[in-house]
Amino acid sequence: MRVLVLNGPNLNMLGTRQPEVYGPHTLAQVEDRCVEHGHALGLEVTCRQSNDEAKLITWIQQASATFEAIVINPAAYSHTSIAIMDALRAVDLPTVEVHMSNIHRREPFRHHSYVSQAAWGVICGFGIQGYEMALDALARRDVQAHTTES
């Protein structure tokens, strides 16, 4: 299974941006862990990050030609982007939304995510471990799908 891991705005600042909220790890470290963990699960993981909503939408739209699933940390776009939600619905790939912090324990405007409405599952509050949890869930989903097809 090929999985696209997308990271939204300001996540390129991981490691220096609010480490008390997001932890000490850089985006490169997060991506390396995703690739390594995915490999251990038999998944091929590709990671991308953009601060540009249009670029994220384009990658989502193109995903169905190359990938079987998406892990997305839409960051602030979670709370504002109907367009990302619509793109995820349009491609109809199993999608797991990840947030490093627990968005429900933060400012009230962060409690609602449009992206959640298009996601198969949502993981928040576990730091970078949330990405690994998302990959674990997708790997199990794929195994279960193949088991029921046999």
| H helices present in 42-99, as ranges | 53-63, 82-91
Q: In this model, does residue 105 exceed pLDDT 90?
A: no
CB 9 within 8 A of CB 77: yes
- Is residue 111 flagged as an active site residue? no
* CATH superfamily of the domain spanning 2-101+114-145: Dehydroquinase, class II (3.40.50.9100)
Top-ranked range on mean pLDDT: pick from 6-15, 81-90, 113-122, 133-142:
81-90
| Each residue's pLDDT tens digit, 4-54 | 999 999 899 888 876 666 667 899 999 999 999 999 999 999 999 999 999
Indicate which residue of 22, 77, 114, 131 is catalytic: 22
Distance CA 93, CA 105 (A): 29
| Beta strands 121-124; 95-99: pairing state | parallel
Name the token pair of 31: 């991506």
Q: How many CB atoms lie within 10 A of CB 21?
A: 11
Q: Which residue has the higher pLDDT, 150 or 142?
A: 142
Q: Which residues contact 2 (CB under 8 A, 6 or more apart)?
A: 43, 44, 45, 46, 66, 67, 68, 69
Q: In this model, does residue 62 exceed pLDDT 60?
A: yes
- Is residue 112 flagged as an active site residue? no
Q: In this model, does residue 148 exceed pLDDT 50?
A: no
**Among 22-26, 83-87, 116-120, where is mean pLDDT lowest?**
22-26
Indicate which residue of 37, 77, 99, 131 is catalytic: 99
Name the token pair of 41: 């699960």
